[in-house]
C-alpha cells in the first residue's frame, strides 16, 4: 500500500479510526527538509505494509496540524488507537525513523 494523501476530511477515518498504527508526515511543498524526508517515508510505507499505514498531510492545505500542536515541519507523528504516541521532528535518518516505528509497533 502506498502512502495516503490525508486531508482534514479524511483524517478521522484514515488515522483516528484505523485498526493499524498510522505514521503521518506533516509537510509542505516549500519545505526543503520535508523533501529530504519524503522518499524515506515512501520507502517506510512499503517496508511496513500490513503493519503500519503511512500518510502525508500538507499543512498549508489542512488545519489538522494545528490540532496536534505541529509548529515545525517535517513532523512525523505515529498514532496508535487514535492517539499520537510518538513524535519525530525534523529531517532524520531512515534508521532513526525505523527505530521510532519499531518502538510503537513493539508496544
Q: Where are the domains of the chain?
A: 4-106
Instruction: Read off the C-alpha cell for 84.
Output: 499520537
Does residue 97 have an active-site annotation? no
Those residues with Cβ within 8 angstroms of residue 102's Cβ, 6 or more apart along the chain or in another chain? none
Please list the pLDDT of the chain residue by residue as tens digits (107 residues): 567 999 999 999 999 999 999 999 999 999 999 999 999 999 999 999 999 999 999 999 999 999 999 999 999 999 999 999 999 999 999 999 999 999 999 96
Q: Are 56 and 4 in contact (CB under 8 A)?
A: yes
**Number of residues that this document lists for the chain:** 107
pLDDT at residue 3 in the model: 78
Catalytic residue among 23, 34, 57, 65: 34
Catalytic residue among 22, 31, 44, 76: 31
Q: pTM of the predicted model, to two decimals? A: 0.95
pLDDT at residue 55 in the model: 96
Secondary structure of the chain in HEC code, one letter for each residue: CCCEEECHHHHHHHHHCCCCCEEEEEECCCCHHHHHHHHHHHHHHHHCCCCCEEEEEECCCCCHHHHCCCCCCCEEEEEECCEEEEEEECCCCHHHHHHHHHHHHHC
Does residue 79 have an active-site annotation? no
Right CATH for 4-106 from 3.10.20.30, 3.40.50.2300, 3.40.30.10, 3.20.20.80: 3.40.30.10
Q: Tell me how far CA of residue 49 lies from CA of 2, 29, 31, 32, in angstroms.
A: 8, 25, 26, 26
Amino acid at each position: 500500500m502506498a502512502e495516503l494523501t490525508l486531508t482534514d476530511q479524511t483524517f478521522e477515518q484514515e488515522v483516528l479510526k484505523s485498526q493499524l498504527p498510522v505514521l503521518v508526515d506533516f509537510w509542505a511543498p516549500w519545505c526543503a527538509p520535508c523533501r529530504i524526508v519524503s522518499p524515506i517515508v515512501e520507502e517506510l510505507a512499503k517496508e511496513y505494509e500490513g503493519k503500519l499505514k503511512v500518510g502525508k498531510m500538507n499543512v498549508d492545505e489542512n488545519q489538522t496540524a494545528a490540532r496536534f500542536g505541529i509548529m515545525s515541519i517535517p513532523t512525523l507523528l505515529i498514532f496508535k488507537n487514535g492517539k499520537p504516541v510518538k513524535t519525530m521532528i525534523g529531517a532524520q535518518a531512515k534508521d532513526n525513523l525505523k527505530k521510532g516505528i519499531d518502538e510503537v509497533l513493539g508496544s
